Amino acid sequence: MGGAGMGGAAGSGGAAGSGGAAGKGGAAGTSSSGGDGSAGATGGAGASGTAGDSAVGGAGSIGTAGVPADGGAPEGGAGTSPLPTDGAASSQGGGTVLPPYDGGIVDAINSTNWNETTIHPLNKRRMLLRDEGDPHVLLIDFGKTPILVWKMVAGGPWTRGIQLIGNDQVLGGRNDGYEVFDLTTGRIVKTVSRFPNTQSAYRMANGETMLAQSGTVLSFLDKADRLSHTITYPGFSYVRMVRPTRNKTFLVPSDTKLFEGDAKGNILWTATDPSWGHIWEPLLMSDGNVLLAAFYESSLDVVDRNTHLVTKRFGTKMMPDAAMFRPNAFSEFQILPNGNLITTNWQPGGGGNGTSGIQIIEFDPSGAVAWFWRQDPTFISSLQGVLVIDGMDPQFLHAQEISADSTWQPVIPTP
């Protein structure tokens, strides 16, 4: 039951997946993911999972073109600033000279131990997914037939986050706390539901669980799930996925504004952009810039560390092959160990949207589509979260604030 997954970029001389870009000298084919110099394997048929209540959602529009070139002024100020030329150093922020622009990501961060054509081939990729339209968490494995390993009802559509927390367990948010799934079976082994207005959950490297709550309030739970302490940022009510940084600060997306706050509730800086709305998840990159899922802009935006202006966009509603991808809203994303970015392209809420667009897209540091997966509508509606778990040992908690580039890193020993 279920259609085959399609699409992916081909290796040099290899055949491209249907809809994917052909490799150099290669002809387009119909494979699921192209290997280096060879045709990729056809995606396995999907299996049906536990059905959730569904309602037909309204169709979203393609939308207007994103704002190219200039970004909005920080702190609500007027005016824009031109983008620096790629490869040229630019003097900004009181004379600080930035390194040559490389897309904001160090080239081939871990290419020696994380390669998509040899060590972790795409036709064996494993991903945890979060379906908002049909509220479930899923594990898929392209190396299996069928590819759907398990599908479990989650705590409602308005919660976010997928994280490996050790002992073969997966943390996911609820609108009143969080829940824990068994990675092997998908069974829910723990539910914490005493914290209303939770928008996302995250397990810190020190073992505390951080809940981002409307307000904006960050509530930290100890290992017994007792409230340990809170951080409040007055004046910001809307919040989605807050992320801690290696600088012991917090990046907070608040509708049309992004800000960095400290542990005492102080706002260190604020950024905004004319195109932002319901912005989703920010991560601190290796060069100090911030990468932000801009949601309805359908882009991952690089926000400059000094000017706090947008200097690059991955995707947008005008991306190549937009009619096929149907860029609607980029939500949760992941910086992969090789420097690529993988994101969910959420489609309108509610059930029955599995045939809409391509909901998993991977970009390389230049902004080109490196791989994609056309979701199987027999068990997927509207994806809002993705976590590639290739190369990650699920026996350990994985956190981002101990990382130099916001890739997920194991906490050893797991607290």
Block means of pLDDT (10 residues each) for the chain, length 415 residues?
Answer: 40 35 35 34 36 35 33 31 28 32 42 87 96 95 96 83 97 96 97 96 97 96 98 94 97 97 97 96 96 97 96 96 96 95 93 94 94 95 96 95 94 93
Q: What is the pLDDT of residue 141?
A: 97
Where do the domains of the chain lie? Answer: 44-50+70-77+98-410
Query: The whole model's pTM is what?
Result: 0.76
Residue given tokens 């190219």 in the structure block: 68
- Residue type for position 146: P
Question: Among residues 366, 365, 368, 291, which one has the least CA distance to residue 330?
Answer: 291
Label residue 68 exposed, middle or buried (CB < 10 Å: 0-12, 13-18, 19+). Answer: exposed
Q: What is the pLDDT of residue 104?
A: 36
Residues 172 and 158: beta-carbon distance below 8 Å = no
Distance CA 261, CA 27 (A): 50
Query: In sequence order, what DSSP letters do the residues of 330-390 get, joined into one string?
Result: EEEEEE-TTS-EEEEE--SSSBS-TTSS--EEEE-TTS-EEEEE---TTT-S-EEEEEE-T
Distance CA 297, CA 300 (A): 9
Residues 66 and 297: beta-carbon distance below 8 Å = yes
Write the CATH number of the domain with boundaries 44-50+70-77+98-410.
2.130.10.10
Token pair belonging to 377: 């509508």
Question: Among residues 19, 122, 1, which one has the least CA distance to residue 374?
Answer: 19
Q: What is the pLDDT of residue 113?
A: 82
